Amino acid sequence: MEEKVIERLLEIDRKAQEVQRKREEGLRSLEEDYKNKIRELIEKYEREIDESSKKAFNEAVEEGEREAEEIRRDTEKILNNLEEVFSEVKDEIEREFFLRIFKVKR
């Protein structure tokens, strides 16, 4: 009878060890799955950050180019206006100069 009890205890111990081994394997597998998932998420977020950064950079460059073009156009208009004013003033000075010369000669 004692022999059967000992055999039964040994069998229970073997089953307990088997259950523990399977549980540890399952935990290792689960831990590996979690590590892989975390790694995948990190890679995904890094890609999204890279894409977002590139998009923000490209948008900033495009906005800068638009502003530079607008400044160039505005500057060109101002220069054209200044040239017109200068030309008008120059013409007025020339007219005044010739009027005074002819007035003095008379």
**What confidence tier does 2 reach under pLDDT thresholds 50, 70, 90?**
confident
**What confidence tier does 105 reach under pLDDT thresholds 50, 70, 90?**
low
Question: What stretch of H or E contains 25?
Answer: helix 2-105
Q: How far is CA 29 from CA 34, 37, 83, in A?
A: 9, 12, 80
Report field, pTM of the whole predicted structure over 0.95: no
pLDDT score for 106: 60
